[in-house]
Structure 1
């Protein structure tokens, strides 16, 4: 089975194939919009997707990298959601209390990330998750970044393709 370097480097070097496929599909009616920014974001999510299925393995670099990002984002979101609900004097106590709650949420996310992750080569190694990753990429671009739907569709396609590349390299493709 390929390792981290093989998955990531495969993503780095094979991206022009994904661009060519998307370009061809757009000539026969696919509503992709291949702008420079969509191509760059698509490249990043394609390469990330080329190793992302291994996030279900606790010793994998992608798992160890994703886990703190999820924890920090969870803590940050908790802070944003509680800061206006706490009213202590002086104000620094409010900020400190809100960060205390945020840290608790981050710790829960830290341990829940591994606990909730299915077994290695389980459902995360599936075309269903490739589709979910592509859909999340589309939503990020179309709604989160406010780019056009065509750009979002292309980035979603690129993310899905990178994730699927990993499955192909592992020679283990399942629907679910």
Structure 2
């Protein structure tokens, strides 16, 4: 199994390159490009939320807890007494840091359904909807947000599989095949719910044809080429 540093670097390097290309092609602003890079790195850590005391688990839930507390404080600050704002922010922090983390630890088994292709697709679909509906991004940057998160997630799964192969001894280690999987027959209900969630979210997602057209257009390629030509 790849360690934390390998997962972070493995996701950060291609995410930085892809974000640079997206900005050079005019697909996203520098701010959104930076967010996409961050989502790629986050995706590289995200599968290990099913490990109770892993470094990614502590980082992810700590970050989510702080973000939730800040969001609650910003939402309530204008029409609520300061002490109530502080109390609500503290409650939001506790719900994520203690409640959600504890629930995830109880629900998930390491190398279970979280380490699977449908879960990778699900988190990407959720990111698309958050970017589109909550942050009001256009379809192309919204889809890019989902692609970056899923891409980092997939890199994590691939690295786990690669590190499960003992090239020196020419053998497969025990964890091989537990990351890049389509689901679990033993967890058939959870697998079915994952696929249903992905299909449902993609059905009501912003149109993907605009995203595909923008990414593959000659105008985007020309903008990228012009950017790199100017760097010489």
TM-score normalised according to structure 1 size: 0.72
Q: 2:118 aligns with which of 116, 125, 128?
A: 128
Higher RCO, 1 vs 2 (CA within 8 Å, ≥6 residues apart)? 1
Q: Contact (CA 8 Å) 1:18, 1:161: kept in 2 or not?
A: no
1:106 aligns with 2:93: yes
For residue 120 of structure 1, report the CA deviation from its aligned partner. 1.7
Between stretches 113-122 and 9-18, larger displacement belongs to: 9-18
Q: Indicate the residue corresponding to 1:13 in structure 2.
A: 13
1:61 to 55, 65, 71: 55
Gapped regions of structure 2 (runs ≥ 5): 162-178, 184-232
CA spacing shift, 1:51–1:95, aligned 2, 3 Å: same
Query: 2:69 & 2:12 partners in 1: Cα distance?
Result: 32
Deviations 1:4-58 (A, max 9, x none): 1111111123347867xx99xxxxxxxxx73354544332212221121112223
Q: How big is the alpha-carbon RMSD for the aligned residues of Structure 1 and Structure 2?
A: 3.1
The reply to whether residue 170 of structure 1 matches residue 160 of structure 2 is yes
Corresponding residue for 1:154? 144
**How many angstroms apart in 1 are the aligned matches of 2:89 and 2:12?**
36
Distance in structure 1 (CA, Å) of the matches to 2:92 and 2:135: 26
CA spacing shift, 1:48–1:74, aligned 2, 3 Å:
closer
- Counterpart-to-counterpart distance in 2, 1:162 and 1:43: 9
> How far apart are residue 105 of structure 1 and its match?
3.6
Find the residue that maps to 2:53 and give its secondary structure. coil
Unaligned 5+ segments in structure 1 are: 24-32, 87-93
Please report the TM-score for the alignment, with normalisation by the length of structure 2.
Answer: 0.57
| 1:50 match: secondary structure | helix
